[in-house]
């Protein structure tokens, strides 16, 4: 009796595995397109129009002690091949301060360490604090870091 029960359950399992109805069902096409989006470095390079002003801003930012420290860190991280990099953009319509991102410009992405806002006439620097969601003067920012 046990042999008969074992044989019948084995036949049932084998019959269930060989279901002919599944073989005739058409494959469902994927609705996603097969387009490949290529990524290039040129799509991320920001060109600032006034190179003289860009140099002035870069020199002013490189005098800040925490920027110097981060630049040395990036230099050691990259085996002395890179230092801190800056990306500048045009100010938005009501703003007059130039937004500057400072950080590590790696092969895969730009890692932002600081966000600055620099007045183009006075070169006054403000540091964006993401925790408080406001722009701080350099002195106020240094106080928050202690």
**Residue-number span of the structural domain to which 76 is assigned:** 44-144
> When comparing pLDDT for 42 and 11, which is higher?
11
Alpha-carbon gap, residue 82 to 34, rounded angstroms: 37
110 in Cβ contact with 85 (< 8 Å) = yes
Is 13 part of a structural domain of the chain?
A: no
Is 39 part of a structural domain of the chain?
A: no
Alpha-carbon gap, residue 114 to 35, rounded angstroms: 35
Residue 43 has pLDDT above 70, yes or no: no
Which range has the top average pLDDT, 37-41, 68-72, 106-110?
Answer: 68-72
Residue 113 has pLDDT above 70, yes or no: yes
Is 17 part of a structural domain of the chain?
A: no
Is 81 part of a structural domain of the chain?
A: yes
Q: How many domains does the chain have?
A: 1
pTM of the model: 0.64
Strand partners, 125: 118
> When comparing pLDDT for 10 and 92, which is higher?
92
Residue 145 has pLDDT above 90, yes or no: no
pLDDT, average across residues 33-58: 67
> When comparing pLDDT for 142 and 25, which is higher?
142
Query: Which is nearest to 84 in space by CA: 92, 72, 100?
Result: 72
Instruction: Report residue 90's pLDDT band, with 50, 70 and 90 as the boundaries.
Output: confident
Is 20 part of a structural domain of the chain?
A: no
Is 16 part of a structural domain of the chain?
A: no
pLDDT, average across residues 91-108: 90
């Amino acid at each position: 009796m046990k042999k008969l029960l074992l044989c019948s359950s084995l036949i049932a399992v084998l019959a269930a595995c060989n279901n002919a109805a599944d073989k005739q069902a058409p494959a469902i096409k994927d609705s996603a397109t097969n387009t490949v989006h290529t990524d290039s470095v040129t799509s991320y390079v920001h060109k600032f129009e006034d190179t003289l002003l860009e140099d002035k801003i870069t020199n002013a930012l490189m005098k800040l002690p925490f920027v110097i420290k981060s630049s040395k860190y990036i230099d050691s991280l990259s085996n002395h091949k890179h230092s801190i990099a800056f990306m500048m953009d045009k100010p938005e319509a009501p703003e007059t301060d130039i937004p500057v991102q400072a950080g590590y410009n790696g092969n895969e992405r730009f890692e932002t360490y600081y966000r600055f806002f620099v007045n183009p006439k006075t070169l006054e620097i403000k540091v964006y604090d993401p925790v408080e969601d406001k722009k701080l003067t350099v002195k106020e920012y240094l106080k928050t870091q202690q």
